[in-house]
Every structure is written in C-alpha cells, then in structure tokens.
Structure 1
Amino acid sequence: MSGPDAGRVTVRVPATSANLGPAFDCAGLALTHHDVLDFALVPDGLTVEIDGAGAGELPTDESHLVVRAFRAASAELGWTPSGLHLSARNAIPQGRGMGSSAAAVVAGVLAAWSLCPDVDTVDGDAVLRLTTELEGHPDNVAACLLGGLTLSWTGERGVGADSLPVHDDVQPIVLVPDATLSTEVARGLLPDVVPHADAAFNAGRSALLVHALTSGTRLLEATEDRLHQRQRTAAMPASLALVDRLRAAGHAAVISGAGPSVLVLARRGADELGEVQAVTRAAIEGWTVLPLDVDPTGARVDRPVGEVSSR
C-alpha cells in the first residue's frame, strides 16, 4: 500500500454459532451480527478504544485478544509495526457462545496481513491455520472467515474448511441470556470417552444437518445430539431447559457453541419467530431474542481507498 491511508484498515467480522447440534467442533454458521474494528499504524505505542459489547470490561493493553492475534500474525510475517491504534465497535456478546473470541482472533490476524508492507494479498490458508492455532479449534474461525455454513477439519495435512450456501428458508434466531459461560468450563464437563452408538448417531445426524441447512428441510431431526449438550447441563441448566421446551414445540433449537446462548434454526415465513419468542417468555425472563440472517460472505477487510475481500 502507499499514500496517506496506507496504514489503515477496517475489519468487519461476523458472529458465529458452532456445533449446530450434532456436528461438534466441525460445523459453524456465520450470522449477521458484527464487530467492526479500525486499525491504524501510528509512530509508536498502543491505544485501544472499545465501544459496545465488552466496553469497560475488556483490557485495553497488550493482553487484548485482538492485539495478541495482531502481534502473532505480525511475528509470523516477520514484521514489527512501530505502533498501533485500535478502535473496536463490538456487537457480538462476550462469553455467550456467539464466537466473540473467534471474531477477535480473525480480526487481528486479517488486519496484520492486510497492513504488512511486505504482503500483497491475504493468504487464506495461512490465516485459517494461524487463527485455528490461536483459537484452539477451527469451527468458529472458519465460519467467521468464510461465511455461510462451514465444515472444517484438521489432520496430517493441516487444517481445512469449506463453505456452503444455506437455503433462504432458514432463519437463525439466537436467544441470549444475561449470564456468561467460558468455553473452558463448558469443555471441562465433557467425558473423555463416548459410547459407540452415540458417536454413530451423531455422525448420521451431522450428515443430515448439511442436507437440512442447504435444502431448508428436516431441521428438527438434523439437530439432534447425544455427544455434548446434555453433558453440560450443570453449567447451563436454564439453557438446556429452554432447548427442551423449544424442541418439544417443534423448533430446531440447540446450544449455540459452548453456550449459554440458544440457537434456533427456524423456517422463514412460518411465523416461528413469534412462537419462539412466546416459548422463551413463558419459560424464562431476561433473555434477548435476536432474529438474524446467515452472513454469506464472512470477514471483510476494507481500505479507505477501496475494498479487499478477506478471501
């Protein structure tokens, strides 16, 4: 880059919901709820400004997750920026199972790649690998990067992900509680070994899930799970109780990521939003209902003089 705005980019990253019921640690959905972060290279020092979700709670020093991701990507690129000003406008709730940490990691890594003077284009494969290393698993970062319904995997050849379009009839509705839950606590409740029958059940439902989301059919059956949701009831009993009530009423409800938010994969035009709101109000107080859409494009990097896709 060159010119007066060569040291500035804006990164827009979507919220995500992972697992989607049976597809534990391998499926994610990008949602139309975004954090927008402005990065500017400055002569020296670090300043961090936060508006919206996390304001007054998140750190504003080198320990901020976006800054840590930015530094990690800069180090990988062999680049040491002189100083950084970060301004974050956050909409994604923190600690609610909507991918706030994945969004932070993706934003920091994409910004470093885009601002590095020795790099002409963003290497999507390298970004997916690094964000997965920083996040610990690929499901949320893949959805955040690529948009749509993403399937991700790790193996001897590294990490990979593909994005599929979601049928227009599918409308995500996220039910967000006031309470938070750390991913580490939620994962700590999972058993080390599961019955073969349960593993086979979830494998079948995961395959059906792809068909359901791309065709807009069989959403209730496709979101059945035996591996991870019920096992974490002790950490979020209200969330599991709400999932049970919604599913009993015919709605494809699951725990969003590690929770405690609940995701409903509703059918657009079937008045499910009103029904979901009614069930939620009857079951529990203090929850926010977010009717959203699927974000088909994922993270975006905008420059003051144009726009460059993160892919």
Structure 2
Amino acid sequence: MIKVKVPATTANMGPGFDSLGMALNLYNEIEIEEVDYDIPIGDNLIYKTLAKVLNMYSYKYRGFRIKVSKCNIPICRGLGSSASCIVAGVVAANKIIGNKLSLDEIINMSTQIEGHPDNVVPAIIGGMVISIENENKVTYSKINLPKNLKFAVMIPEFEVRTQDARNVLPNRYLNKDCIFNISRVAMLVNALNNGELDKIRLSVQDKIHQPYRKNLIKNIDYIFDKSHKLGSKGEFISGSGSTVISIIDNNEELFVTKMKEYLKELDGNWNIKLLKPDLEGAKAI
C-alpha cells in the first residue's frame, strides 16, 4: 500500500493570475493499494491520473483500491482540491514504477493533466512558487517567505466552480490594467523576498480577476474591510474562490477570534482556519 500526503494550495494571490501559488499546511491523505481484480472506479481523478501515468510506462495492473483517509481540502473552494488529486495520482504512480520520474517530470506531467501549473507546482514542492509554462515545460522559482507570516483562510459553505469563475472574466483588458498587475506582482514577489511587509497591501491589488470574481462571493467587501481594520497585511481571493485569505504577521489569535465574530453575522456558514505555508510539498509516506 502507498500513502500519499498532499497539501492544499492557494493560487493567484492577488495580481499573480495563473502564475503564483502557495502550499498550505492543510492536507489530504490518500491510500492506494494495488489488487489483482477489477474495481469499478467511475470518474475518479486520482485513479484516472494514476492510470494515465502507469499506462505511459506500460505498467500492467488489474485494479486499485483508493481511499481518501483524510480529506481536509474542501472541494470547489479555491484551495487546490483537484490539483491535490492529480498530484497524488502522479506521485503514487511514480512510486509504483520505481521512482523513475524526475521532479521536473512529475511537475510537467501534473501540469499537463491539470492544465496550468499554479496549484500543482507548490503542491509538489511546497512553499510559494512562481510558475510559467512554455512548450509543455514548466519553469518555476520559489519565493523566500518571511517566517512570521500566517494566513487566515476563510471558507464558506457555498462553492464557486472554476468554470463559472473563468466565465465572468473579460476577453480583453485595458493596457493600463495590465501594467497595474505587472507592477503589483513584481512588487509582491520582491517585497516578500526582502521581508518588506509594509508593501504587501499595495502589492496584492489586482485588476485582472478579482474585480469580476468578487461578485460571486457575497459579503467579500465586508470581510476585506474588517480584515484590514484588524491589521491584516492584505487580502485576496484564493484561486477562483469561494475561499478568501488574509495575510497576518502578529496578533493572529486576536485576529481569528474577532473575524469569527464578524463571519457569524454573515450568510454562508463561514469557517476560519489559521494556516502556515507548507514548505515540503507532497510526500509518499
């Protein structure tokens, strides 16, 4: 039996649309056992990924028993649930074939299946990562996160499906909006690398996706305003939503306590988790 532990991820992080992502210390754990008989799997993303990789390497099998023993990453909330399934499948398949895949091959294969690298790369290697894809190959670089940063992750019971979040985006953007985002994402990366926390709030501003997706998340302006007043360094939509995240560096217990009170007033049955970056990524355990 193979056990794979995969972290949740948050992507975009304000201006880094489809290019920035970070792993968080919230995990799914999957058990995969090869069996000598067929098991009806249905539309299981872990199995489909596992089978795709094994077939590429001509590995003969009858079936697999797959169990998600710990399921902590919520589905359709912008925390990389589909990426976690894909990464689990690729990592498990690599273990089965005798660790033949290099790290870059695992990343490229996972990206091809997922469609973009922003969630899968941090899920595989941990930390906060810039990822770009060119000619079916991913180039990535880790950002040096200040050690004291924590992330207040606010998760409602309602979902925002990725396709719906994509559909609300415009087909064209103004030149000034593109410049706005380029400058912000560059500043965000450098500010984090240098520990310049006072620059984060300005740097997480965005005009590419959040102004459109915020309409899918009721009360987001209220939440962001309360977060700011409680001392957050910045707020952003996690992935395509519906989760929103506040960046905090001190008084985190007071922040969470007060935000819980505010969230109770809202529709959506909001839950809040105080998380840290996961720095190690997926593991076969």
Provide the TM-score with structure 1 as the length reference: 0.84
After superposition, residues 104-123 of structure 1 pair within 5 angstroms as 104-116=85-97, 119-123=98-102
Q: Which of 106, 110, 134 is equivalent to 1:127? A: 106
> Which residue of 293, 296, 303 maps to 2:276?
293
Q: Which moved more, 1:140-149 or 1:240-249?
A: 240-249
Superposition map of 1:129-144 within 5 A: 129-144=108-123
| Alignment CA distance shift 1:42-1:232 (3 Å) | same
From the superposition, tell whether residues 37 and 170 of structure 1 become closer, same or farther in structure 2 (CA, over 3 Å).
Answer: same
> Aligned residue for 1:233?
214
- Aligned residue type for 1:267: D
Quick one: distance in 2 between partners of 1:174 and 1:66? 25
C-alpha distance in structure 2 between counterparts of 1:138 and 1:182, whole Å: 18
216 and 100 in structure 1: CA distance in 2 versus 1, 3 angstrom threshold: farther
| Amino acid in the other structure paired with 1:258 | S
> For 2:119, what is the secondary structure of its paired residue?
helix
The alpha-carbon deviation at position 237 of structure 1 amounts to 3.1
Match of 1:183 among 141, 162, 167: 162
Cα distance in 1, alignment partners of residues 22 and 78 from structure 2: 12
For residues 51-70 of structure 1, the aligned pairs below 5 Å read 61-70=41-50
Change (3 A) 1:248 1:269: closer
Aligned to 1:264: 246
Structure 2 residues without counterparts, runs of 5 or longer: none
Q: 1:79 is matched with which residue?
A: 59
Partners of 1:139 and 1:273 in 2: CA distance: 27
Equivalent residue, structure 2, for 1:101: 82
Change (3 A) 1:248 1:188: farther
Q: Give 2:90's aligned amino acid.
A: V
Which secondary structure state, in structure 2, belongs to the residue aligned with residue 38 of structure 1?
A: strand
Query: 1:276 is matched with which residue?
Result: 259
Distance 2:61 2:93 in 1: 9
Q: How many Å apart are 1:190 and its aligned residue?
A: 0.6
Task: Specify which of 11, 23, 33 is matched with residue 40 of structure 1.
Answer: 33
Distance change in 2, residues 1:28/1:195 (3 Å): same
| Alignment-mate amino acid for residue 112 of structure 1 | A
SS of the equivalent of 2:17 reads: coil
| Percent identical | 28
- CA drift of 1:166 comes to 1.7
- The alpha carbon displacement at 1:105 in A equals 0.5
| Deviation by residue 1:23-58 (Cα, 9 ceiling, x = unmatched) | 0000011000000011111112227xxxxxxxxxxx
| 1:157 Cα deviation from its structure 2 partner | 6.4
- When the two chains are superposed, the root-mean-square deviation of aligned CA atoms in Å is 2.0
Amino acid across the alignment from 2:108: R
CA contact (8 A) 1:220 1:247 kept: no
Point out 4+ residue stretches in structure 1 off by more than 4 angstroms.
282-285
Counterpart AA for 2:259: V
Per-residue displacement from partner, 1:136-159 (whole Å, max 9, x unpaired)?
110000110011101100113622
Q: 2:152 corresponds to which residue?
A: 173
Letter in 2 for 1:148: G
TM-score, normalised by the number of residues in structure 2 = 0.91
Would the alpha carbon gap of residues 216 and 276 (structure 1) be closer, same or farther in structure 2, given more than 3 Å must change? farther
